[in-house]
Amino acid sequence: MIATLDADLVVIPETEHLGVLEAMVEGPLAGLGYTPYLVDGTDTFTGQDVGLLSRLPIEAVGRTDERAPVGVTGDTYGVSKNLWARFTLDGVPTTLIGVHFLARPDDVERKPRREAQAEVIRRLVEAEQAEGRAVVVLGDFNDFDDETPDARGSRPITDVMARIKAAGPAPDDDLVNVLADVPPARRFTNFWDRDDDGEFDAGEFSAIDHVLLSPALYRRVREVRYVHAHDPRTVSDHFPIVVTLGRD
């Protein structure tokens, strides 16, 4: 699937370790020019991290271990699976932030923790913007967009997407979700077999994976594709999002 997408940057939110990416670029992706990146995180439940394959020169990679308050409690929470990478995109200093947030978008009990995760990423976006960098935030947010409904009309119970998109000091620097550039019927990135019957039923496809772009990058968008080209019951229950940028 990755080979057919032919993307210059590939973010894989569920990567076991760097060795998996190395095996991919030395095996089925050999000769395609990818360099793998992964920063070990703190997820002890799945052991997963956010992986990156890049054909572009990467200047620096890292992760944020910052934590934010959980609602009105005294607890704090962070993003165990994340990665940031800095590079220059056609003369524009850019930071890519890959994320994988806490699951279950409709779970009220998890709402404050996922909002805390959003606050952590919002702060990171704001810091990168303050240094004059364009920003891409992408990955498995495990949440629905607040402005654009997906194929099944999902609406969020959190402010996760709104909070991250509004990072920065002014409305004109808000991040833009490419979801709105896709026809409504194709706005799904995930299959969840709710009744576990192995069949595709109404309401089992939704959009919980997103690509958010700074306005300077969004102006360069030439095409957005939600690639529904595999059986989500056998390969992955998530579908790739491909965003093609041109020159400004």
Name the residue ranges covered by the structural domains of the chain.
2-245
Residue 174 has what pLDDT? Answer: 95
Has residue 194 got a pLDDT over 90?
no
State the fold for domain 2-245: Deoxyribonuclease I; Chain A (3.60.10)
pTM of this prediction?
0.96
Has residue 41 got a pLDDT over 80?
yes
157-185 residue pLDDT tens: 999 999 999 998 887 889 999 999 999 99
94-104 residue pLDDT tens: 999 999 999 99
* Sequence-distant (≥ 6) Cβ neighbours of residue 6 within 8 angstroms: none
Residue 93 has what pLDDT? Answer: 97
| 135, β-bridge pairs | 95
Strand 92-100, strand 134-140: pairing: parallel
DSSP 87: E
Tokens at 29, concatenated: 């992706």
Has residue 248 got a pLDDT over 80?
no
Query: First CA to last CA across the chain, in angstroms?
Result: 29
Q: For residues 137-153, give the mean pLDDT.
A: 97
Residues recorded for the chain: 248
Q: For residues 3-29, give the mean pLDDT.
A: 96
Cα dist. 94→11, 65, 131, 134, 220 in Å? 15, 20, 10, 5, 13
Tokens at 47, concatenated: 């052991």
54-72 residue pLDDT tens: 999 999 999 999 999 999 8
Residue 85 has what pLDDT? Answer: 98
Q: How far apart are CA 102 and CA 19, in angstroms?
A: 24
Average pLDDT of the chain is: 96
Name the pLDDT band for 200 (thresholds 50, 70, 90): very high
Q: Is 104 exposed, middle or buried (0-12, 13-18, 19+ CB in 10 A)?
A: middle
| 94, β-bridge pairs | 87, 134
Q: For residues 82-103, give the mean pLDDT.
A: 97
Residue 170 has what pLDDT? Answer: 81
Question: Quick one: what percent of the chain has pLDDT higher than 90?
Answer: 92
Q: How far apart are CA 219 and CA 13, in angstroms?
A: 26
Q: For residues 127-151, give the mean pLDDT.
A: 97
